[in-house]
């Protein structure tokens, strides 16, 4: 099974299996023992594994009863000889709980243990020595550089029974004709493709593949020797394009290669425009002496997609590392270069920077110097050609712009590495009036192409873009930043530039860079800011101001030029905060979950002395009472799972009577509101600040750190609580009510997710998160003596 692309070692140097038993044991976790293999599993993993095994084993046993015998069918990976029992739409739900990233080698009293993740293999001393020698061979092979993958040898190692009929070496070129039975043919093709071979045209006597300077013809074992001899054509003056590039592409200098590419692209364009009968790349032949292409129009079938052949030509060049090779260039004089640069900046101002939605333009790479020149032959790239040096730029749009772009800006493709779209913005000069354009009609020529990358915040990938920009030499030639201008007008801060954060919020959050310092600007949308919520913003700022002399790692508000914390930005309110470092962690470790619990408890204690009139207006009980009623309606409408029996009214009654220690609460302890540096964490975004029983806030954090897509990490309940109680132990009454509050928080999280989708806010329904919370509800209810009513106490 599978495809072997290199055989590092094969021998029979291991001892026989030492153990011949299968058993299970349960200690710190569940151990699955089969002969010399042990796998460690958590309870959820074991339950899931046994359920799947029972399902699939029944199907396998049915095949055995129907006559299946192992060791009989050929190793072909074909559907008639390989049946796979699985559900591709049913991925494993439970993550690996133990040692997912571990690698260890141990000497023990019973031999050697090789630990790879949660697997352990037991080896005797002699078997371990054999393994060590095999790995040493691998290390030596890797240190020598590129592995030499011989196609015949790999076909043999994949057990495809190849038979060599002919092998001819002319210099560095290698031609093989290999007989492979039809039974193994498809897998043989898979092996060749896996090691970099490209399939060519189907020869009369077989199937041709090429890679660099190696050409392979797969034929039927019954093919005659005369037919084998006629299949090779190394000495022919005319060679098909795929074979020519494989055998001779690297021998061409940059000027020769681009000349050949220009001639081929011209023929392909003529075909695409209907001036030439459509043809396949394998029907294009190259004269080895003159580099002149010729088309065998009689060989191509009638239904050929000419545009697809142009794209295939680019892929063929890439496969042979011949795609991006610039021809030689003659530099312009200093005066000529200065004139072109002046024309470039006029073009940028008149065609790009003039648009209000363009916020930044960066000149990239070699375009930052003045070493412009003219190519000795056109530089062919994709399906266009450059006559002279081009200009590479990066263009960034305003984050909230959603309108059209100029028709003259031509989007070519999305480039993943830059996280941006690749565009042609225009030409400085007119390459289409050149003699080249007249000689090669149908091709697009650029005199000085202005090309580059356009970043749209709606579609771009900021992480990839940032990493890419760090690698490049470039400098900003234009910046229009409305937010930075606003910050400079309202704060004694010389803001240089800003960038929006991607947050799931009705508000806008911007990173503000001001030299070596950074800040965070939060703009509270007036659309969602009722008079009560405006008071909550004041409450938030009042609390944070009171905590400025504490040792808490939190973002603190900054006063504006008028001495106020809250500023007006059009109809909205805005607050500038200090920047706290760290990153949100999607799946925090045990130690990070404990740290998050400790951070919450430290906040609760530090905020306790603050006396605020606003606090009483924002009870942390009210949201739970409101959203639990919404959840009841959603369950009645079968929007959430109906497999949970829950008397929500009884939980609300108990919550209303709850009189445990109260204080200022964060109110939204989502994982994204904790920023981590290792096990050190900071707490941000106090916009949902409220007042009430502290244990309500604790339950919120415990649920948030457990809920995942399609999963509920029960262990995090204990980790978060233990971290919290390291700082602030719970009272007996808080402990008695915590389970009920956890259940309330779980249904409230579900109701909010549903409202975000069905309430007209434009959010997708997060069904995976809903299912994870549903699993959490079942777990929590399963720990109660009576699932139909709150815990007594």
CATH code: domain of residue 187: 3.30.460.40
CA 552 to chain centroid, in Å, comes to 34
Same domain? For 351 and 464 the reply is yes
Residue 19 CB neighbours (<10 A): 13
Give pLDDT, residue 28.
80
Q: Name which of 589, 639, 645 is nearest 766 in CA terms.
A: 639
DSSP letter, residue 282: G
- Per the CB < 8 A criterion, the answer to whether 454 and 395 are in contact is yes
Same domain? For 683 and 755 the reply is yes
94 or 617: whose pLDDT is higher?
617
- 535 vs 617: CA distance, rounded Å: 9
Q: pLDDT tens-digit profile of 420-477?
A: 999 999 999 999 999 999 899 999 999 999 999 999 998 999 999 999 999 988 899 9
Predicted confidence band of residue 785 (pLDDT cuts 50, 70, 90): low
Count of structural domains within the chain: 6
Burial of 403 (0-12, 13-18, 19+ CB in 10 A): exposed
Same domain? For 41 and 114 the reply is yes
424 forms beta bridges with: 410, 451
What's the CA angle centered on 559, arms 558 and 564, to 5 degrees?
140
Tell whether 639 is covered by a domain: yes
Q: pLDDT tens-digit profile of 641-683?
A: 778 888 999 999 999 999 999 999 999 999 999 999 999 999 9
Same domain? For 491 and 524 the reply is yes
CATH number at residue 644: 3.90.1200.10
- Per the CB < 8 A criterion, the answer to whether 36 and 123 are in contact is yes
Domain of 553 in residue numbering reads as: 484-578
Instruction: Specify the residue for token string 């680019």.
Output: 314
E strand residue ranges, 602-710: 662-665, 674-677, 680-683, 690-693, 707-708
Q: What's the half-sphere exposure (Cβ side, CA atoms, 13 Å) at 292?
A: 4
Q: pLDDT tens-digit profile of 242-280?
A: 989 988 898 999 999 999 999 999 999 998 998 888 889
Predicted confidence band of residue 793 (pLDDT cuts 50, 70, 90): very low
Tell whether 17 is covered by a domain: no
Give pLDDT, residue 759.
81
Tell whether 494 is covered by a domain: yes
Same domain? For 68 and 174 the reply is no
Q: Residue 348: CB partners within 8 Å, gap ≥ 6?
A: 361, 393, 450, 477, 478
**Phi/psi at 792 (5° precision):** -75, 160
- 225 vs 219: CA distance, rounded Å: 11
DSSP letter, residue 328: P
Same domain? For 274 and 313 the reply is yes
- Please provide the DSSP assignment of 430-450 as one string: -GGGSHHHHHSTT-EEESSEE
Same domain? For 663 and 598 the reply is yes
**Phi/psi at 618 (5° precision):** -130, 75
Q: Residue 539: CB partners within 8 Å, gap ≥ 6?
A: 612, 614, 615, 617, 618, 689
- 615 vs 613: CA distance, rounded Å: 6
Q: Mark which of 235, 258, 276 sits at the end of a domain.
A: 235
Same domain? For 475 and 495 the reply is no
Q: Residue 143: CB partners within 8 Å, gap ≥ 6?
A: none
Burial of 72 (0-12, 13-18, 19+ CB in 10 A): exposed
**Most distant pair of Cα atoms in the chain: their distance:** 100
Predicted confidence band of residue 733 (pLDDT cuts 50, 70, 90): very high
362 forms beta bridges with: 394, 476
Q: Mark which of 523, 547, 578 sits at the end of a domain.
A: 578
Tell whether 753 is covered by a domain: yes
Give pLDDT, residue 234.
45
Q: pLDDT tens-digit profile of 195-230?
A: 889 887 666 678 888 887 788 889 888 766 555 545
Same domain? For 415 and 339 the reply is yes
Same domain? For 213 and 267 the reply is no
């Amino acid at each position: 099974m599978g495809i072997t692309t290199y055989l590092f070692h094969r021998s029979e140097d291991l001892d026989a299996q030492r153990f011949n038993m299968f058993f299970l044991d349960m200690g710190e976790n569940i151990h699955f023992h089969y002969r010399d293999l042990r796998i460690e599993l958590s309870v959820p993993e074991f339950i899931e594994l046994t359920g799947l095994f029972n399902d699939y084993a029944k199907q396998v046993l049915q095949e055995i009863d129907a006559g299946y015998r192992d060791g009989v069918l050929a190793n072909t990976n074909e559907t008639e000889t390989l049946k796979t029992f699985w559900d591709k739409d049913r991925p494993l739900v439970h993550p690996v709980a133990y040692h997912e990233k571990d690698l260890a080698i141990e000497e023990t009293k019973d031999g050697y243990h090789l630990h790879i993740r949660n697997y352990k293999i037991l080896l005797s001393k002699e078997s371990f020595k054999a393994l060590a020698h095999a790995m040493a061979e691998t290390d030596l092979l890797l240190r020598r550089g590129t592995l030499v993958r011989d196609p015949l040898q790999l076909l043999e190692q994949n057990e495809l029974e190849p038979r060599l009929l002919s092998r001819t070496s002319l210099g560095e070129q290698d031609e093989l004709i290999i007989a492979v039975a039809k039974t193994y043919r498809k897998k043989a093709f898979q092996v060749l493709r896996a090691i970099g071979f490209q399939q060519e045209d189907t020869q009369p006597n077989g199937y041709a593949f090429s890679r660099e300077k190696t050409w392979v013809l797969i034929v039927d074992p019954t093919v005659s020797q005369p037919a084998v001899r006629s299949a090779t054509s190394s000495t022919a003056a005319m060679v098909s394009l795929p074979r020519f590039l494989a055998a001779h592409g690297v021998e061409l200098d940059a000027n020769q290669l681009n000349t050949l590419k220009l001639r081929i692209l011209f023929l392909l364009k003529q075909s695409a425009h209907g001036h030439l009968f459509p043809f396949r790349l394998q029907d294009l032949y190259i004269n080895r002496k003159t580099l002149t292409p010729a088309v065998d129009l009689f060989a191509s079938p009638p239904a050929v997609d000419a545009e697809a052949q142009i794209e295939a030509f680019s892929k063929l060049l890439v496969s042979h590392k011949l795609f991006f090779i610039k021809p030689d260039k003659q530099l312009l004089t200093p005066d000529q270069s200065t004139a072109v640069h002046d024309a470039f900046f006029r073009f940028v101002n008149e065609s790009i920077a003039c648009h209000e939605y363009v916020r930044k333009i960066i000149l990239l790479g070699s375009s930052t110097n003045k070493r412009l020149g003219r190519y000795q032959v056109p530089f062919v790239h994709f399906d266009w050609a450059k006559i002279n040096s081009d200009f590479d730029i990066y263009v960034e749009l305003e984050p909230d712009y959603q309108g059209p772009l100029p028709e003259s800006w031509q989007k070519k493709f999305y480039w993943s590495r830059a996280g941006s779209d690749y565009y042609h913005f225009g030409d400085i000069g007119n390459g289409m009036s050149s003699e080249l354009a007249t000689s090669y009609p149908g091709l697009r020529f650029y005199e000085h192409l202005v090309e580059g990358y356009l970043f749209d915040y709606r579609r771009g990938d900021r992480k990839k873009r940032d990493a890419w920009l760090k690698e490049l030499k470039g400098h900003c030639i234009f910046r229009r930043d409305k937010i930075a201008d606003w910050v400079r007008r309202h704060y004694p801060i010389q803001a240089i530039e800003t960038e929006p954060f991607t947050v799931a919020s009705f508000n806008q959050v911007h990173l503000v860079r001001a030299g070596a310092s950074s800040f965070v600007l939060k703009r509270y949308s007036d659309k969602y800011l009722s008079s009560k919520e405006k008071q909550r913003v004041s409450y938030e700022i009042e609390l944070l101001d009171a905590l400025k002399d504490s040792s808490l790692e939190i973002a603190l508000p900054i006063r504006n030029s008028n001495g106020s914390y809250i500023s007006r930005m059009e109809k909205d309110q805005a607050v500038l905060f200090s920047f706290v470092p760290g990153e949100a962690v999607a799946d925090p470790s045990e130690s990070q979950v404990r740290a998050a619990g400790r951070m919450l408890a430290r906040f609760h204690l530090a905020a306790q002395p603050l006396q605020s009139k606003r606090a009483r207006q924002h009870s942390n009980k009210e949201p739970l009472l409101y959203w639990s009623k919404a959840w009841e309606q959603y369950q009645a409408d079968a929007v959430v799972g109906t497999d949970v029996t829950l008397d929500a009214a009884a939980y609300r009654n108990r919550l209303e009577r709850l009189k445990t220690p109260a204080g200022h609460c964060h109110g939204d302890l989502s994982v994204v509101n904790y920023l981590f540096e290792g096990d050190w964490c900071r707490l941000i975004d106090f916009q949902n600040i409220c007042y009430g029983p502290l244990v309500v806030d604790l339950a919120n954090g415990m649920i948030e750190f457990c809920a995942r897509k399609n999963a509920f990490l029960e262990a995090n309940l204990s980790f978060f609580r233990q971290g919290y109680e390291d700082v602030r132990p719970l009272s007996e009454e808080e402990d008695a009510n915590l389970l009920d509050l956890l259940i309330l928080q779980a249904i409230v999280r579900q109701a909010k997710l549903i409202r975000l989708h069905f309430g007209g806010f434009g959010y997708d329904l997060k069904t995976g998160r809903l299912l994870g919370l549903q699993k959490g509800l079942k777990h929590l209810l399963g720990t109660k003596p009576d699932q139909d009513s709150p815990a007594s106490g």
